[in-house]
Amino acid sequence: MASPSGGNGKQPAPKQPATFYFAYGSNLHLKQMKRRCPHSRYIGRARLVNYRWQINERGYANVVKTDGFWVDGLVYEIDAADEAKLDINEGVSKNAYAKKTMRAQLFRAPGNLYRRPTSWIVDRGGPSKILRQAREAAPKQPEQPQHWTQEVLVYISLNFTTDSPPKEEYINRINFGLTDARALGMEDDYISNCIRPFIPAPTRSQRAPGGATAEKGKQVARGLKRNASPRTGEKSPARPGRAPKRPDNQTPQQTTTSRPRSQTVPRRPGATSQQHPPPPPPPPPLPPRPVPPLPPRPVPRYRDAPIIVVEEYHFSCRSI
């Protein structure tokens, strides 16, 4: 009797249940989540009650047990392969983070984003663009999000729990994630009161035209070629498969630019000059200021005074 599964008699491997992963740090950024967990799907927002958000002494985000506080984040559905990659990125083997299953209040994403692959959301411009296009296509009253209590996977640091400043490179990654999280419904009050004491807001020079922060080190200066090589004194290499032009194959414009200034080709009659007009002549110099003459020196006056002449006489006595 043949087995119902086929001729080989092998049963298909049972599908492992998916894991709901709670992200509260740099994995709020969907572009980073797409790179780290390519099979992940977006589920919605979640709130972890009686925990507080912090930057620990390692310079990275963490949650610590504190009554009266809560931590907001995003929930992704991940498989076993994505979870293994997260273990490596979070440093589980180095005791940087530990994996814990906690109960969180889960708020379901809108219908056009619920269980969408993270790569699908990123490739279509991000959550802000998708939600804006949905509102423009079918404007209607916003639906109340469904919410329930769900067990989620949380990476928490138990050995490093002291409030500390963040690493410099980590600031931009958190701000990227906050841009996506705000578009997905994270409240501004939570960002201002819980995250901004540790993570400064991006400046205007770091913001892109659409409101997102500009990624550091990936912008190309205007007017510069991407493949321009630095000036090292060596000859610039030609393009592969294309030999440099010989002097006799140059165009008239190229030969004109290589000539000295005194040997340029004269313009045709009637041609308009594209050069800028000469600058106006400088103003004439000011006339010298007249120097007033010096006043006459006073003539000294002498008063008449009596003159006393003293004559001296010498007498000598001689004996006769």
Q: What share of the chain is helix, strand, coil (3-state, %, to 5)?
A: 25, 20, 55
Residue type at position 193: N
Spatial distance between the Cα atoms of 55 and 193, rounded to a whole number of angstroms: 14
- Is residue 229 over pLDDT 60? no
Model pLDDT, residue 221: 40
Helices (H) and strands (E) in the chain, counts: 7, 6
Dump pLDDT digits (tens) for 260-280: 454 555 555 555 555 677 888
- Is residue 207 over pLDDT 70? no
Model pLDDT, residue 266: 52
Indicate the domain borders of the chain: 19-206
In this structure, CATH architecture of domain 19-206 = Roll (3.10)
Q: Tell me the binding residues for substrate.
A: 21-26
- Is residue 35 over pLDDT 90? yes
Q: Report, as residue numbers or ranges, the catalytic residues.
A: 90
Model pLDDT, residue 98: 98
Q: Tell me the binding residues.
A: 21-26
Model pLDDT, residue 299: 72
Compute how many other C-beta atoms are within 10 angstroms of the C-beta atom of residue 195.
Answer: 24
- Is residue 7 over pLDDT 70? no
- Is residue 15 over pLDDT 70? no
Model pLDDT, residue 195: 98
Calculated CA dihedral for residues 208, 209, 212, 214, nearest 10 degrees: -10
